[in-house]
């Protein structure tokens, strides 16, 4: 739900086993400044203040959570032509620092990210990847988990009219030699209804159906079945977004 003053309101909820998890999100825009507030079912409040394009190409955001006094964080994002840089630093005496950079063109790009925890003086993450994109397909290769995981993904658009798309991801653990894969699809049933499916080698199956029942107002139904979860292998969810 939104108003002419720039205020938007969204409520979501999902039932997992016997628990209901939900939140209420509000967003207010004024000029280049956006304020987002999220209140979840555990009575935790998350606030993010974002200032965009001051100066050109730079986005700055400040976020914090209540009652977690150590959750303050400052994010900087800079985008210019064929280069993008993201940085994040925790607003504590011993902050967690993260840095990510990407360089390339609309077709070919290279990227890397790095994380450092000053509390333990340890590297928390370093990942790198390469991606190739065309109008009807894209492929990527990613080295993740501090060099322990190799991921390859591919997505292909078969029908631009209804958005029929198939995607696949293969994961290889370099130390344990384990392999995993996930296959997914997406296509529009009609002009206002989108259907997505997902299947993994573990037997987990997912289904999502999203319907735009009026302009900018969505209802989303989701279901998941995991045969490895003995107590309650099935999960159902619903989300509603309303904008007048």
| Percent with pLDDT over 90 in the chain | 52
Which domain covers residue 197, as residue numbers? 150-244
3-state SS, residue 32? coil
Total tally of structural domains belonging to the chain:
1
Report the DSSP beta bridge partners of residue 211: 193, 219
Specify the residue for token string 């259907």.
195
Q: Residue 179 domain-assigned?
A: yes
User: How high is the pLDDT of residue 84?
Assistant: 94
Q: Residue 212 domain-assigned?
A: yes
Q: Residue 183 domain-assigned?
A: yes
pLDDT digits (tens, 9 = 90+) for 114-158: 999 988 989 999 999 999 999 999 999 999 999 999 999 999 999
User: How high is the pLDDT of residue 167?
Assistant: 98
pLDDT digits (tens, 9 = 90+) for 99-126: 999 999 989 999 999 999 988 989 999 9
3-state SS, residue 30? strand
**Residue 188: both structure tokens together:** 């529009």
- Confidence (pTM): 0.66
> Rounded to the nearest 5 degrees, what angle is found at the Cα of 235, between the Cα atoms of 234 and 238?
150
Q: Residue 208 domain-assigned?
A: yes
Among 4-18, 45-59, 174-188, whose mean pLDDT is lowest?
4-18
User: How high is the pLDDT of residue 11?
Assistant: 80
Q: Residue 229 domain-assigned?
A: yes
pLDDT digits (tens, 9 = 90+) for 43-81: 788 999 988 877 778 888 989 888 887 888 899 999 888
| CA-based max dimension of the chain | 56
Per-residue pLDDT at 7 exceeds 90: no
């Amino acid at each position: 739900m939104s108003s002419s003053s720039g205020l938007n309101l969204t409520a979501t909820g999902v039932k997992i086993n016997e628990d209901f998890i939900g939140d209420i999100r509000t967003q207010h825009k004024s000029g280049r400044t956006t304020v987002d507030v999220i209140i979840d079912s555990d009575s935790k409040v998350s606030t993010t203040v974002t200032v965009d394009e001051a100066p050109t190409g730079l986005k700055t955001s400040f976020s914090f959570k209540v009652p977690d006094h150590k959750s303050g964080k400052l994010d900087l994002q800079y985008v210019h032509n064929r280069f993008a840089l993201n940085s994040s630093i925790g607003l504590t005496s011993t902050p967690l620092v993260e840095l990510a950079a990407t360089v390339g063109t609309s077709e070919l790009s290279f990227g890397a990210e790095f994380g450092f925890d000053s509390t333990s003086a340890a590297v928390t993450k370093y990942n790198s990847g390469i991606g190739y994109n065309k109008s009807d397909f894209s492929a990527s290769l990613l080295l993740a988990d501090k060099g322990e995981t190799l991921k390859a993904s591919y997505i292909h658009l078969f029908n631009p009219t209804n958005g029929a798309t198939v995607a696949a991801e293969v994961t290889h653990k370099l130390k344990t030699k384990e392999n995993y894969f996930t296959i997914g699809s997406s296509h529009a049933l009609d002009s206002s209804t989108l259907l997505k499916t997902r299947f993994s080698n573990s037997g987990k199956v997912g289904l999502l159906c999203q319907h735009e029942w009026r302009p900018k107002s969505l209802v989303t139904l989701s279901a998941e079945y995991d045969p490895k979860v003995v107590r309650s292998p099935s999960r159902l969810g619903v989300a509603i977004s309303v904008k007048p």
